[in-house]
Amino acid sequence: MFEFISNLKERNESLFYYGLICLVASIVFLILTKVTSTQVYNVNAWYKPFKFAFSTFLFSWAMAWYCYYLPSFNVNLFSWSIIILLGFEIIYIAIQAGRGQLSHYNLSTSTYAFLYSMMAIAATLVTIYTFYVGVLFCINNFPNLPNYYVWAIRLSIFIFVIFSFQGFLMGSKLTHTIGGPDGGPGIPILNWSTKFGDPRIAHFIGMHALQVIPVLSFYILKNTKATIFISAIYCLLAFFTLFQALKGKPFFKTKNNQHEIQ
């Protein structure tokens, strides 16, 4: 682990420290869920910035690692684009959490609607830029890397892009619950609905292909065909949870749907 951290810092110091800041912020937000009582949709308001900060930490470190392999790529421009765009999202989400207000789907005032639109634009730009990185991995050769590992990076990036854009599905409905109101029973921390459909599950699974598939391929599969097969299964799993959510069916169920985040 220490060798990985040391290498990561050498590969991309900007995203390394940004990811580290996001990790620390996520820990702070998680602590705040235990010492504050502010709620949004019957859930402690600080869970949302915790999830976004921790997810950004994982994304930043993953992309810092992968982009190092790309020849003739402006890593500095990419890194600062990520820092500024996703930094804006986390800061706004945290501010709204502290105020007990919605950040996403909040059209109650023109200011909130504008800031929500800015978050959507920021997420779109990050996703498009990441897609471009995926294209570069397809058109370049990497003779010093195992073929299965290169394919893992390619496929994980494109799965990430697909399910990152899936966020617009929730945005178009102004809700993350299908078949019922937001704020019902959910699993701990993530609060995915245990009573209705929840597209956030597919969003989560798809976007974290970026970490899961390359790690599986490099350390366990070590085979190109196996990597492509597992990537396809992983993608189908994400689509399955999405289709189930759109039908209003929960992926996780608890007895009598009574398990709620306290």
Kindly report the length of the chain: 262
Residue 261 above 70 pLDDT? no
Q: Give 167's pLDDT tier (boundaries 50, 70, 90).
A: very high
Measure the CA–CA gap between 239 and 72, rounded to whole angstroms.
35
**Two tokens, residue 32:** 């705040």
Handedness of CA 205, 208, 211, 213 (dihedral sign): positive
| pLDDT of res. 256 | 55
Q: Provide the percentage of residues in the chain whose pLDDT is more than 70.
A: 97
In angstroms, how far is the first alpha carbon of the chain from the final one?
34
Residue 255 above 80 pLDDT? no
Q: Would you list the domain boundaries of the chain?
A: 1-101, 141-262
Amino acid of residue 18: Y
Secondary structure (DSSP) of 178-193:
BSS-TTS-B-TTT--B
Residue 260 above 50 pLDDT? no
Global pTM reads 0.94
What would the pLDDT profile of 84-108 be if each residue is shown by its tens digit?
999 999 999 999 999 999 999 999 9
Q: Give 1's pLDDT tier (boundaries 50, 70, 90).
A: confident
Q: Taking the CB of residue 9, how many other CB atoms lie within 10 A of it?
A: 14
